[in-house]
Amino acid sequence: MNMRLSTLGLFAFCLIIGFSIVIQAKVTNGQQLYVSAKTITDYETAIKTETEDMDRIGRLIAETGEKLQEYEVLADRDDDELKDKLLEDLNYYKLISGNTAVQGEGIVVFIDDGTRELYEGEDRNSVLVHDMDILTVINELNRSGAEVLSVNGQRIDNSTSISCSGYTIRINEQFFARPFEIRAIGDSKRMAASLIGPEGYGTLLQYYGVIFRLTMRDDLVIPKYGEKQSYQYMTKAKEEE
* DSSP notation for the chain: -HHHHHHHHHHHHHHHHHHHHHHHHHHTTTS-----HHHHHHHHHHHHHHHHHHHHHHHHHHHHHHHHHHHHHHHTSSSSHHHHHHHHHHHHHHHHHT-S-EEEEEEEEEEE---SPPPTT--GGGGS--HHHHHHHHHHHHHTT-SEEEETTEEE-TT--EEEETTEEEETTEEEPSPEEEEEES-HHHHHHHHHSTT-HHHHHHHHT-EEEEEEEEEEEEPPP-SPP--SS--PPPPP-
CA angle 47, 53, 58 (to 5 degrees): 125
pLDDT digits (tens, 9 = 90+) for 18-50: 656 655 555 545 455 566 676 777 778 888 888
pLDDT tens readout for residues 127-148: 889 999 999 999 999 999 999 9
Q: What is the pLDDT of residue 189?
A: 94
Determine contact, residues 171/130, Cβ cutoff 8 Å.
Answer: no
CA distance 120 to 234: 55
HSE of 93 in the Cβ direction (CA atoms, 13 Å)?
6
Q: What is the pLDDT of residue 168?
A: 87
Residues of the chain with pLDDT under 50: 2, 5, 28, 30
Domain extents in the chain: 37-97, 102-222
The answer to whether the CB of 215 falls within 8 A of the CB of 108 is yes
Q: How far apart are CA 76 and CA 73, in angstroms?
A: 6
Structure confidence at residue 5 (pLDDT): 47
State which CATH number among 3.50.50.60, 1.10.10.10, 3.40.190.10, 3.30.70.1880 fits the domain covering 102-222: 3.30.70.1880
